[in-house]
A = this chain, B = another copy of it.
Amino acid sequence: MTRKILVLPGDGIGPEITAQASRILAACQARGLDVEVEEALVGGGAYDEYGDPLPAGTLEKARAARAILLGAVGGPKWDRLEDLSKRPEKGLLGLRKSLGLFGNLRPAILYPQLAEASSLKPEVVSGLDIMIVRELTGGIYFGQPRGIEERDGERVGFNTYVYSESEIERIGRVAFEMARKRGKKLCSVDKANVLEVTILWREVMDRLAPEYPDVELSHMYVDNAAMQLVRAPRQFDVIVTGNMFGDILSDAAAMLTGSIGMLPSASLNESGQGMYEPCHGSAPDIAGQNIANPLATILSVAMMLRYSFDEPALAGRIEAAVGKVLDDGLRTADIASEGTRTVSTVEMGDAVLAAF
Contact = CB atoms under 8 A, between A and B. Distances in A.
Interface of A: 74, 79, 84, 87, 89, 93, 119-121, 124, 140-141, 143, 146-148, 151, 154-166, 191, 193-201, 222-224, 226-227, 229-232, 244-245, 247-252, 254-256, 258, 260, 281
Given A158-B162, A161-B140, A148 B199 contact: yes
How many copies the complex holds: the figure is: 2
Contacts of A164: 151, 154-157
10 A-B pairs with least C-beta separation = A157-B200, A157-B197, A226-B252, A223-B251, A158-B162, A227-B255, A230-B255, A119-B124, A159-B161, A89-B193
A200 B148 contact: yes
Contact of A146 (B148, B196, B201, B258): B196
Contacts of A74: 193
Contacts of A229: 252
A226 B260 CA distance: 13
Contact of A154 (B121, B159, B165, B254): B165
Most buried by B among A157, A166, A230: A157
A23 to B, nearest CB: 29
A84 B202 CA distance: 13
A159 B195 contact: yes
User: What does DSSP make chain A's interface, helix, strand, loop or mixed?
Assistant: helix
Given A147-B196, A226-B226, A226-B252, 7 more contacts: A84-B199, A87-B193, A156-B162, A157-B162, A160-B161, A222-B248, A227-B260
Contacts of A245: 248
A147 to B, nearest CB: 5
A70 to B, nearest CB: 16
Contacts of A151: 164
Contacts of A260: 227
Given A156-B163, A156-B165, A252-B252, A195 B87 contact: no
Contacts of A161: 140, 158-161
Given A120-B121, A157-B163, A157-B197, A254 B227 contact: yes
Contacts of A244: 191
A198 B119 contact: no
A199 B157 CA distance: 8
A84 B195 CA distance: 9
Contacts of A191: 244, 247
22 contacts: A140-B140, A140-B161, A146-B195, A147-B196, A148-B196, A148-B197, A155-B164, A156-B164, A157-B201, A158-B162, A159-B195, A160-B161, A161-B161, A191-B244, A223-B248, A223-B250, A224-B281, A226-B251, A226-B255, A227-B255, A245-B248, A248-B248
